[in-house]
Amino acid sequence: MQFNFNSSEPIYLQVAQQIEDAIFTGGFKEGEQIPSTTEISKEFHINPATVLKGMNQLVSRKLLEKHRGVGMFVAEGASNQITLNRQQNFYNKYVIGVVKEAVRLNINEEDLKKLIEQGYKSI
């Protein structure tokens, strides 16, 4: 797990985000235990309470499961749920921004579509 923290968001949200990313990319497999709050806070010098807050956010979103006295585990179906979630947020998170920037750069709808097609081809 590699954390890159910035100052533009509360740390606990970033912790949640990074764990979510790790689950999404397969870094943490479903049913697997993830590192403890202590391990994470030691590694990145983050307050354990902050780490726990981030994890609890994922617990309430049913991506993580708390096993009392053992630790946190990736919930079954977490990866699918993240995909679903991200699909729902895709429009707000990316499309709006791209279109706004395109407008600023005088790229019209047709051209933007072409660029997107080009992007699909290059991957």
Partner 1 sequence: MKGIEVKQVTKSFDKKMILNGIGMTIEPNKIYGLLGRNGAGKSTLLSLLVNRIAPDTGEIRLDNKVIRDNDEQLSKMFLMSEVDLYPKNLKVKDVFKWTKSFYGGFDEELAQDLCEKFGLQTNIIFNKLSTGYRTIMKLIVALAVPVEYVFLDEPILGLDAGHREIFYNALVETYAENPRTFVISTHLIEEIANLIEHVLVIDHGRLIVDDETEKVLGEAYVVSGPEDKVDEYTQGLNVIGSDKLARIKASYVFGSLDNKPISDLINIDQMDLQTLFVNLTNGGNENE
Instruction: Enumerate binding residues for partner 1 (CB under 8 A).
Output: 5, 7-12, 37-38, 41-42, 44-50, 100, 104
Dihedral in degrees, nearest 10, Cα atoms 70, 71, 72, 74: -40
**Which residues contact residue 50 at a Cβ distance below 8 angstroms, ignoring those fewer than 6 apart?**
11, 12, 15, 41
Other beta carbons within 10 angstroms of residue 53's beta carbon come to 17
CB of 27 vs partner 1, minimal distance in Å: 21
Instruction: Read off the amino acid at residue 60.
Output: S
CB of 45 vs partner 1, minimal distance in Å: 5
Nearer to partner 1, 6 or 87 (CB): 6
Nearer to partner 1, 14 or 79 (CB): 14
Nearer to partner 1, 12 or 28 (CB): 12
Residues 72-108: b if buried by 16+ CB within 10 A, e if exposed: bbbbeebbebbeeeeeeeeeeeeeeeeeeeeeeeeee
CB of 18 vs partner 1, minimal distance in Å: 13
CB of 7 vs partner 1, minimal distance in Å: 4
Nearer to partner 1, 85 or 107 (CB): 107
